[in-house]
Every structure is written in structure tokens, then in C-alpha cells.
Chain A
Amino acid sequence: DTGVSQDPRHKITKRGQNVTFRCDPISEHNRLYWYRQTLGQGPEFLTYFQNEAQLEKSRLLSDRFSAERPKGSFSTLEIQRTEQGDSAMYLCASSLGRRSSYEQYFGPGTRLTVT
């Protein structure tokens, strides 16, 4: 399977704890995106990488959130001091990053529940 993978698929944590999610994109894709989806809403953009460079962060990404893509391959999204409002599905997507290539391929998501 050469699609986008995410780990873990589910995470339950207590408020105040730190969590880290991992995303492995399609190998030849140089762009990697993180989105967040809450119940009844569409995915909302959080941040994206071109290779290892983080090029944009949404205002949704508070200072408790940090994302890395250290070698331009996999990426991690960390949430520090989790709050109940962080409960959501976190989706990762990758793409070729060409000007005319808008299609993004999504992983299955990590569902976070903060209790």
C-alpha cells in the first residue's frame, strides 16, 4: 500500500497531556498538509510543508501546536497541554506540489478525544 498513512488512528488523552501524531506521505510527494475536521464540518487547513520547510501556518494553529517534517519525508504534529476543544479528526494529505496539480491524497486520519 503506497497511500498516505497516519498513526495512531485513535488517541484518547486527558486534558493537559501532550500528544504527537505521525503522517507518512506518498513517497514522491514533496508537499504535505495537515487539516483538522470537527463533527459536521469540512476539513480546515492547519499547516503545510514543501519538503522540510514549513511554508504556512493557519491562525487555527495556536502556540500549543507544532509540526515538523525533519527530512522532507514523514511529518509529526504535536499538541501540548491538550484541551477539550482539541478533540477532532486530524487529517494529513500529500501532493506533488506542482502549480497545476491541486489534487491532494488524504490519509485515514487520527481521531483525538480529550477527556
Chain B
Amino acid sequence: DQQVKQNSPSLSVQEGRISILNCDYTNSMFDYFLWYKKYPAEGPTFLISISSIKDKNEDGRFTVFLNKSAKHLSLHIVPSQPGDSAVYFCAAPSAGNKLTFGGGTRVLVKP
């Protein structure tokens, strides 16, 4: 069973516009969420996280929003830049801090 889902496999956006990536989860025990970014031939790199005690966390151009009642989080990238073109994964830690990942969303930022 997929406990973390990213229903949009790809997203194309114009440079300078907003990218919105969505993630849904089913396990109500999850209380922390992370977003990772992955370029081809590289491992995932940590981008931003949010604790369930917050509903928003911002870091520069990246903002993550959490809606606990809907079991939904989103990542906003404003403004989008060509270097943001990558695959983005949302993830949640469980016992042992092992991460459960969504399937990823491939973002393409067009110049």
C-alpha cells in the first residue's frame, strides 16, 4: 500500500512562474515530512521539511504547506528557475527514521 502518494508524475512551468507540487499521505501517524530534489545520476538531496505542529515552512523560494485534516502537503517554488528542473519526492519518516517516499514529480522549468 502506498502510504505517500504524488499523483502528478510531471509538471511543466514557465521560468518565473510558480511551481506547485502536491503530496498526499494515508498514515495518520506521520508527523514530519520532507521534500527531496533529485537530479539525474545523483542521489536525492534534502530541500525543506515541515513538522506536523506547523502548517507552513518557508525557506527562500521554497514553501511547504501542510493540511493535516486533508492529509495533504504541497511544495511551492516561487519564482521557478531552470535549475529547479529535477524530480521532487515527498517523504515521511517512521520507526527508525526510515523514509517512505512518494513516487516523485518531474518538474521542467522552461526558459
Q: What residues of A have a CB within 8 angstroms of the CB of B99 in the complex?
A: 33, 35, 43, 45, 102, 104
Q: Which chain B residue has the least Cβ–Cβ distance from A33?
A: B98
Could you tell me if A43 and B89 are in contact, using CB atoms closer than 8 angstroms?
yes
Question: In whole angstroms, how far apart are the Cα atoms of A93 and B97 in the complex?
Answer: 12
Q: What residues of B have a CB within 8 angstroms of the CB of A103 in the complex?
A: 34, 46, 49
Could you tell me if B102 and A108 are in contact, using CB atoms closer than 8 angstroms?
no
Chain B's nearest CB lies how many Å from the CB of A25? 12
Could you tell me if B104 and A56 are in contact, using CB atoms closer than 8 angstroms?
no
**A41 contacts which of B41, B42, B104 (Cβ < 8 Å)?**
B104
Chain B's nearest CB lies how many Å from the CB of A81? 26
A41-87 interface with B by 8 A CB criterion? 41-45, 48, 55-56
Q: What residues of A have a CB within 8 angstroms of the CB of B95 in the complex?
A: 56
Q: What residues of A have a CB within 8 angstroms of the CB of B4 in the complex?
A: 42
Interface size on B, residues (CB 8 A): 26
Could you tell me if B43 and A56 are in contact, using CB atoms closer than 8 angstroms?
no
Instruction: Convert B1-35 into 0s and 1s, putting 1 for each residue whose CB lies closer than 8 angstroms to a CB of A.
Output: 00010100100000000000000000000001010
Question: In whole angstroms, how far apart are the Cα atoms of A27 and B40 in the complex?
Answer: 25
Q: What residues of A have a CB within 8 angstroms of the CB of B34 in the complex?
A: 102-103
Q: What residues of B have a CB within 8 angstroms of the CB of A56 in the complex?
A: 95-96, 98
Q: Which residues of B contact A (CB under 8 A)?
A: 4, 6, 9, 32, 34, 36, 41-46, 49, 89, 91, 93, 95-104
Taking A43-B99, A103-B49 as known contacts, 14 extra A-B pairs with beta carbons closer than 8 A to each other, sorted by chain A number, are: A31-B97, A41-B104, A42-B6, A42-B101, A42-B102, A43-B89, A44-B101, A95-B97, A102-B32, A102-B99, A103-B46, A104-B46, A106-B36, A106-B43
Q: Which residues of A contact B (CB under 8 A)?
A: 4, 31, 33, 35, 40-45, 48, 55-56, 91, 93, 95, 97, 101-109
- Jot down 5 A-B pairs with beta carbons below 8 A, ordered by A: A55-B96, A56-B98, A102-B97, A105-B46, A109-B43
